[in-house]
Structure 1
Amino acid sequence: MKVDQAAALPKYLHEQSRQLGELLSRLRIARGVKQTEAAARAGLSRNTIYRLEHGDPGLAVGQILRYLEAVAPGTTLEHLYAQKDPALLAQAARERRTRVRSLSKAELDELNF
């Protein structure tokens, strides 16, 4: 009998699975690796990579570790959770940058007291 892993997990563990998938996805994107490339390197299907990045708790630990090794060789789960990978740090810095635009005349007038 097939068990629905998502339904069998408590909510907090399902959330942890989702967070792991999000971290793996961010790492892959930060390193500039396409899903198809990561799948080929890890020996997994693209569908499995998709499920992994979306936090499917029904995947085996070995699949997660193979995927991590394919995206960032030598990286451990501990390093992934610490988010100390240089590519992740650079991506976070890019996300923090926002351009400051000049206010329009109407916006400036609205600020005048």
Structure 2
Amino acid sequence: MKVKQSSVLPYRQSTESERVGELVARLRVARQIKQADAAIRAGLSRNSAYRIERGDPGVAIGQLIRYVDAIAPGMSLTQLLTETDPALAYQQRQEQRQRVRSLTAEEMEELNF
């Protein structure tokens, strides 16, 4: 009988698995690599790549390591978890930039002391 791993894990472990998947997906996007290309480089199916990035705890650790290495050759899981990759830092700075809009007259009035 097939068991869905995410339903068996406690909440904390499930969220950790999702966080790892999120980091892998962010790394791939930061390095501007398509998911299908990363999967081919790692010798995985696109579905396996999708499951890794979704944080599926049923994915084998070897698949995760191969996928990370296909995205960032030589990167360890420790480096991934500490987010030391320069591409991730650059992407985070880009995400923090936002345009500032002018306040409306009503908003200005609310701020008037």
By the TM > 0.5 criterion, same fold?
Answer: yes
Give the drift of 1:60: 0.3
Structure 2: distance between partners of 1:66 and 1:17 = 17
What per-residue deviation string (whole Å, max 9, x for no partner) do you get for residues 3-51 of structure 1? 2211221221111110000000000000000111111101111111111
* TM-score with structure 2 setting the length: 0.92
Q: Deviations over 1:35-93 (max 9, x none)?
A: 11111101111111111101111110000000000001010000001101000000111
> Structure 1: where are the runs of 5+ without partners?
none
1:33 maps to 2:36: no
Tell me how large the CA RMSD over aligned residues is: 1.3
1:5 pairs with 2:5: yes
Q: Identify unmatched segments of 5+ residues in structure 2.
A: none
Distance 2:16 2:106 in 1: 46
Identity %: 54
1:73-88 → structure 2 map (5 Å cutoff)? 73-88=73-88
> C-alpha displacement at 1:111, in angstroms?
2.9
